[in-house]
Amino acid sequence: MTSKSLSSALPYRIGYGEDAHRLARGLPLILGGVPIPHAEQGAVAHSDGDAVLHAVADALLSGLALGDIGHYFPDTAAEYKEMDSRIILDRALMLVRARGYAPVNVALVVTLDRPKLGPLRAEIAQTVAGLLDLPATEVGVSFKTSEGLAPDHVQTRVTVLLGRTRD
């Protein structure tokens, strides 16, 4: 079987995405659609700077080789200034669905030194799952510190499994 016929025979595809934003005082921090209370610093970004939703959207797009969010939402366009990143994720999901795929499960890792995000794990999983029309049990959420190596930085890495919904 050639690699071309193999990829059309298999019902699953893997996607990977990541995003990072610099942090600065006086800005809100939003992760996975959840505003983080008591964050001393927020994301420096053109949009609302939600590094989780950006990485999930890039993971969806990469699974079908559809480019990345910067292609669809250039950070030079004034219309996307301070935009809600749920719009970005919606667009990526729409593109994936239009090609006959849907997310099956998501695994995401947020690297952030402060604040501790553990108490928000369920809310972030639930919110991301809701945006993808998945049960919260299909969104794994892990947190890591940078061990002080990058205190002014938030980073998210995401894998997603896409399943074919039609032939």
Ligand X SMILES: C[C@@]1(CO)OP(=O)(O)OP(=O)(O)OC[C@H]1O
Ligand Y SMILES: Nc1ccn([C@@H]2O[C@H](COP(=O)(O)O)[C@@H](O)[C@H]2O)c(=O)n1
- Please report, as ranges, the residues that interact with ligand X according to CB under 6 A: 19, 45-47, 49, 54, 69-70, 73-75, 80, 83, 88
Of the candidates 106, 113, 101, 120, which has an alpha carbon nearest to the alpha carbon of residue 144?
113
Give contact residues for ligand Y (rule: CB under 6 A): 112, 116-118, 143-145
Residue 19 annotated as part of some ligand binding site: yes
CB of 164 to ligand X, least distance (A): 28
CB of 73 to ligand Y, least distance (A): 27
Residue 68 annotated as part of some ligand binding site: yes
Distance CA 137, CA 103 (A): 13
- Among left, alpha and beta (phi > 0; psi -120 to 50; other), residue 7 is alpha
Q: What angle do CA 49, 52, 119 make, to 5 degrees?
A: 110
Residue 150 annotated as part of some ligand binding site: no
**Partner interacting with residue 145 (select from ligand Y, ligand X, none; CB below 5-8 Å by kind):** ligand Y
